[in-house]
Amino acid sequence: MLKCEHSNVQLPRLVLASASPRRAEILESVGWEFVKAVPEIDETEREGESPEDYVVRLALEKAGAIAAGFPRDTVLGADTTVVIDRRIIGKPRDLVEARAMLRSLSGRWHEVLTGVAVFGERGHRSGLQRTRVKFSEMDDGEVAFLAERGDPLDKAGGYAVQAQAALFIEGIEGDYWNVVGLPISLVYRLVNELTGGRSEPAATSG
């Protein structure tokens, strides 16, 4: 656990229920100690399920699947998706699908939703972060560049805001780190709630 001598900020060791290198990088950037344990769950959408319910459910399932093996630790699960016209856009299966996704985002606002769940000895907490992102108009060459150079296949929506996609993003409303893949401020609040720190509403939007 990270605790400064003259501060009441405590960062208990986390078990990150994710294989995402971006989530690991965000935790490392704030000095949060963690280990990884990757869950295996079915990520199929359920009929009639809203995008918000979908990402929170998957976050809960990821954390819950790992929590049984780490009963004394705080387990973190998260799931991020891109939503446009209330339609979930997941990770592209190939470059053809990545180009189609990027064309659909060109010149438009879309939402990035991340569900977050933390499990511990006192139960669990969950929340949702919402961020709006706008791409500039992209021509076919720019779409092809982003699909081929942006390593899109493991990213919701087929892009990484911190990489080549930054060339084409006109605006972000809300939590930037949510778009990268982990709304770290929400994680901090949920962990505090679970471990007896300050209590704040979990669901946030921006």
Ranges 14-18, 40-44, 117-121: which has the least confidence = 40-44
Predicted confidence (pLDDT) at residue 187 exceeds the cutoff of 70: yes
Q: Report the pLDDT averaged over residues 48-67.
A: 96
pLDDT at 201: 35
CATH number of the domain encompassing residue 120: 3.90.950.10
Distance CA 167, CA 60 (A): 34
Distance in Å from the first CA to the final CA of the chain: 30
Instruction: With respect to residue 5, please indicate whether it lies within any of the assigned structural domains.
Output: no
The range of the structural domain enclosing residue 91 comes to 11-195
Residue 3: which pLDDT band, with cuts at 50, 70 and 90?
A: low
Strand 34-36 vs strand 14-16: parallel, antiparallel, or unpaired?
parallel
Residues labelled catalytic: 79
Instruction: Classify residue 196 as exposed, middle or buried by CB count within 10 Å of its CB (0-12, 13-18, 19+).
Output: exposed
pLDDT at 205: 37
The CA-atom distances, in angstroms, between 63 and each of 18, 55, 67, 73, 170 are 9, 12, 6, 11, 34
**Domains of the chain: total:** 1
Quick check: pTM over 0.75? Answer: yes
Instruction: With respect to residue 61, please indicate whether it lies within any of the assigned structural domains.
Output: yes
Q: Report the pLDDT averaged over residues 175-184.
A: 96
